[in-house]
Amino acid sequence: MSNPIVNIKHLSKHFGNFHAVQDVNITVNSGDVYGFLGPNGAGKSTTMRCMLSLIQADKGSIELFGKSIQKHRSEILSQVGCLIEKPDFYKYLSAFQNLQIFSRISGKPSTKKEILDMLEFVGLQGREKDHVSGFSHGMRQRLGIAQTLLHQPELIVLDEPTTGLDPQGIIDMRNLILRLKNEQKKTIILSSHNLSEVELICNRMVIIHKGKSIVEGEVHALLNEEEQIIRLQTSSDSMETLLAFLQNHGTAIQINDNSVEMNISKEKIPQLNAQLVHAGIPIFAIEAKRKLEDYFINLLAS
């Protein structure tokens, strides 16, 4: 039996006449990497802000670690590390001083060694004395993660942590989250509108649209990962041969002069690969297409 860390029931919040969140239900279990998916303005950030008691919900109950956030705010927040949108720091202070400031009021002040170790963990070793004003967005994001983790929280809440990062920064951030999941077994709630990010990192997710939770559950179950869409690339000369060959394996759709896409059972992909080689059809690439993208678009369209 999994242990629920976050239990949100019938959450609603409106700003004037605008219903930002309507009757949202969410359960996050211990050890989950839980994805909050939705387009911009869907209500992801509002839900997170209500969850952290940054804003008051109009209706519903929010329980973290089995306790109401309204009644036990300080106790709960001392076990939560969060990064809401872009991290902002005191620009006239160094990275080390900034972490000291946030650490002192986190409920568990950190030692100098703990702060230096955390800076090393996020890849900012040697930059502890540098003023934050000179940091790039990626470095600030990593410092934000450091302040989130410094007091060893049980639950980590990251609101769009890769926004504004360059491709390398996105990969670094993704690896950092995976390390938290695999090495430290943290429970992580991750909001994003980057579908591949959620598909790669999260084991459970909720899709929020127009303030409502449309679907919630295991990522693999929702995406039916037994089936996989793959894209095969060949030369334009070999396209006809390839299409004829694939007729025996399912329905293939030609995308352009040298690419086809087809739906295939995951365990049959190596077998297909071997048969293509055996048939002498030149294949330049076989790539798995992200399924969440299709799932998400179909869901929103319906």
Partner 1 sequence: MIFLYSTYNELIKIALKPRSYLGLAAITGLVGIILFALKADGMSMISFVTASFEQTLRFEGEVLNGNLVAFIILQMLIVHIPLLVALVTGDLISGEAAMGTLRMLATKPISRRQLLGSKFLAGGIYTLLIVIWLGVLAVVVGRWLFGPGDLMVLNSDGLVILQENDVLWRYAGAFCVAFFALLTISNLSICLSCFSDNSIGPIVSTMAIILLFTIIGTLDVPVFDPIRPYLFTTHMASWRSFFEDPLPWESIRNSLVVLTLHHVLFVTVALFAFNRKDITV
Binding stretches for partner 1 (CB under 8 A):
49, 52, 54-55, 73-78, 80, 82, 84, 86-93, 97, 100-102, 104-107, 109, 147
Whichever of 143 and 272 has its CB closer to partner 1, that residue is 143
Nearer to partner 1, 64 or 206 (CB): 64
DSSP secondary structure string for all residues of 45-79:
HHHHHHHTTSS--SEEEEEETTEETTTSHHHHHTT
Residue 110 CB, nearest approach to partner 1 (Å): 12
For partner 1, give the closer residue by CB, 50 or 165.
50
CB of 210 to partner 1, least distance (A): 21
Closest approach, Cβ 45 to partner 1, in A, equals: 8
Pick between residue 86 and residue 212 the one whose CB is nearest to partner 1.
86
Smallest distance from the beta carbon of 116 to partner 1, in angstroms?
18
Give whichever of 103 and 162 is closer to partner 1, judged by the CB atom.
Answer: 103
Question: Could you give the angle at which helices 137-149 and 95-104 cross, rounded to 10 degrees?
Answer: 30
Which of 4, 6, 2, 3 has its CA nearest to residue 190?
Answer: 6
Q: State the helix-helix crossing angle for 167-182 and 137-149, rounded to 10 degrees.
A: 10
CB 29, min distance to partner 1, A? 22
Other C-beta atoms closer than 10 Å to the C-beta of 126 total 9
Give strand ranges (E) for 80-236. 80-83, 155-159, 187-192, 204-209, 212-218, 227-234
In the chain, DSSP assigns E strands to 4-15, 18-29, 33-37, 59-64, 67-68, 80-83, 155-159, 187-192, 204-209, 212-218, 227-234, 252-256, 259-265, 283-288
Nearer to partner 1, 97 or 275 (CB): 97
User: How many beta carbons lie within 10 A of that of residue 265, not counting itself?
Assistant: 13
d(CA 162, CA 116): 23
Nearest approach, Cβ of residue 64 and partner 1 (Å): 12
Minimum CB distance to partner 1 smaller for 46 or for 228: 46
DSSP state of 161: T
Q: How far is the CB of 141 from partner 1 (least distance, A)?
A: 13
